[in-house]
A and B are shown apart, each in its own frame.
Chain A
């Protein structure tokens, strides 16, 4: 069915179809729209979820863990400082191997306080043990929400999943998207049979014991394996989704990459604008392509290196800073992926859009010109560049 919805509404709609047993919520802009819409579904009896309105994001994540450990499907959503406030508990969710799904509406972190989009919030959680799947638009946010449960609950994975959508740009913009019938979504998701539920008097279990140096390492090692396995499972679920709903999803999307010598790498909503610019620049004769990273954690290192093997100059666009004196988080991961595999490629970082600063087609065109010049001269003036900032 074609429906006009904001990104927040699209995610809430997926949550309605998922009908999780427990949803714990705390408001934060720009996520609030998801939970407001979901509260309507609860109020009108369209879901039978136990809806908990919490005292903070910290408590929201705690309750979501309590519910997931109990043996039911449990969800929450957040943004920015809310995610930062959850941070301690976000790690615990992953270490207990709980298949929680959490939409994160990307927003800049304080300070100074800013409510608009960048990726600094989720980047702070990139090593928390959560799978991170980025969305380009409302359609993808919806599709990712539908796929996330199957990924999280896969026995080889058993890790929580964040699905991200750019604050305001996706969350508040009205778009037309295809939604699927309730029963088809339900069938796709399937029933959840928890392995070790807390609520099972005949077989009591302990969650969260004290782990000393004699076991902690082993548990962390197993957790890391779940993340490795996730790569395969994300692709399998993507293929099953394509079969069922005719939309294709993998670890990343390649756009006009077949003969490309130059390429852009982006995350999230910027991919839409960047694809349009790639088309325009192509008309000028540049052999340029684009890669949109969908699955940021686990990071598709090998596959990415393979896709970039013919590229001479690569622009990595980061919508967050790495305060490391080196470059943004995506830039560092991409460079690490290429190290030892493709030493010839020149990788340049373009930091843009912090705190909701607009990124225009013209800005991206300039990036394309810049990497073409690098390709012609062989010289990289600056490996980290700031786009659209007053210097």
Chain B
């Protein structure tokens, strides 16, 4: 991967002066992702925090070409752009090697944009889809999404006398994406920046669709002080809530396996959205969440060894 020195010499594609919140994960993630790209980019964005805060007319933070169409269709829209690029290449009307990146939050990727994402992956467009997963519809005021962790207090899954927040566990989008048998899929976190950027570099070199699900802390929705974003992202990884792994041509690889995983409580207790769980009545939820994290972790380790083995025997 490019050295820090090389990276610092590259142009910033997401210019400063955008209107995202201080400490916003999406701001950090989009900067890191675009910094990792060596080629000129065309970026598409789903409607969401990143899009509305970086393109307030007549200004734009994007030094690359940028396309926003609607909430649910960034992958479909960019499919058309990528196809147009192929047509122009074929005719010799464009010389540069351009890369295509689609950004969407969890709402625009896990939920309303899921069909559009699935279609683009199945058709095999050469594009990188980045989901910045902050675990709720933050742009519209913190409503639960299918990425929201169980137990989180959101405006549509509020904790109350009879409720402990969101009842359901989050959808495993990365697993859904892997099921499309695309060449490259991964999970990353801005706390592990070199891992993230290495994954972006790999993804952009793949001749086909690629996907990276990036945890994106949200001070407003998760309710913590903005300067703790990277710490929160790191804790999500250290506790095993957010696993750093990649799937290259079907082979799973754990990119970070701490000797001792921290208990999930340590991540939860730093966030206002889980505060209500730390009462005797909700103690069982904490326990269930720990069991869930352990189960997912074991499953991932098994997938790593099984797929590696299967690959060897090929």
Contact = CB atoms under 8 A, between A and B. Distances in A.
B60 interface: yes
Interface string B40-69: 101010000001100111101011111111
B79 A52 contact: yes
Nearest to B19: A210
B90 A62 contact: no
Interface string B10-39: 000000000000000000000000000000
A50 B122 CA distance: 16
Contacts of A56: 115, 119
B77 interface: yes
Interface in A54-71: 54-56, 58-60, 62-71
A72 interface: yes
Interface string A336-378: 0000000000000000000000000000000000000000000
Nearest to B55: A209
Given A69-B67, A201-B98, A54 B119 contact: yes
A72 B68 contact: no
A324 interface: no
A115 interface: no
Interface in A1-50: 21-22, 24, 48-50
A199 B57 CA distance: 20
Given A22-B83, A52-B83, A198-B67, A59 B115 contact: yes
A50 B119 contact: no
B128 to A, nearest CB: 15
A50 B72 contact: no
B84 A210 contact: no
A29 B118 CA distance: 24
B6 interface: no
Contacts, number: 160
B94 interface: yes
Contacts of A71: 84, 88
Nearest to B72: A58
A63 B52 contact: no
Contact of A62 (B42, B80, B82, B88): B80
Contact of A198 (B65, B90, B96): B65
Contacts of A210: 51-52, 55-57
Question: Which of A56, A66, A71, A212 counts the most chain B CB atoms within 10 A?
Answer: A66
Interface in B60-106: 60, 62-70, 72-73, 76-88, 90-91, 94, 96, 98
Contacts of B91: 21, 48
Given A67-B83, A212-B57, A199 B77 contact: no
B84 A21 contact: yes
A354 to B, nearest CB: 31
A68 B69 CA distance: 12
B116 A198 contact: no
Given A198-B42, A206-B66, A66 B57 contact: no
Contact of A66 (B44, B51, B86, B88): B44
A70 B116 contact: no
A66 B87 contact: no
A63 B116 CA distance: 10
A59 B116 contact: yes
B123 interface: yes
Contacts of B85: 70, 199
A237 interface: no
A244 interface: no
B88 A199 contact: yes
A60 B116 CA distance: 10
Nearest to B119: A55
Nearest to B63: A204
B80 A52 contact: yes
A267 to B, nearest CB: 30
A229 B64 CA distance: 33
Given A56-B115, A199-B42, A24 B80 contact: yes
Contacts of B115: 55-56, 58-59
A204 B67 contact: no
A59 B76 contact: yes
Q: Which of A24, A62, A74, A211 has the most CB of B within 10 A?
A: A62
Interface in B232-269: none
Interface string A194-208: 000011110011111
A60 to B, nearest CB: 8
A92 interface: yes
A215 B40 CA distance: 29
Contacts of A206: 55, 60, 62, 65-67
Give 9 nearest A-B pairs by CB, closest first: A66-B80, A55-B119, A63-B80, A70-B84, A59-B76, A208-B68, A67-B80, A209-B55, A201-B40
10 contacts: A21-B83, A21-B91, A24-B83, A52-B80, A52-B83, A66-B84, A198-B42, A207-B67, A207-B69, A208-B69
Given A71-B84, A198-B67, A206-B62, 17 more contacts: A24-B80, A48-B87, A50-B84, A54-B76, A55-B122, A58-B72, A59-B79, A66-B77, A66-B80, A66-B82, A70-B85, A72-B87, A72-B88, A74-B80, A74-B84, A88-B70, A209-B68
Interface of A: 21-22, 24, 48-50, 52-56, 58-60, 62-72, 74, 88-89, 92, 198-201, 204-212, 215
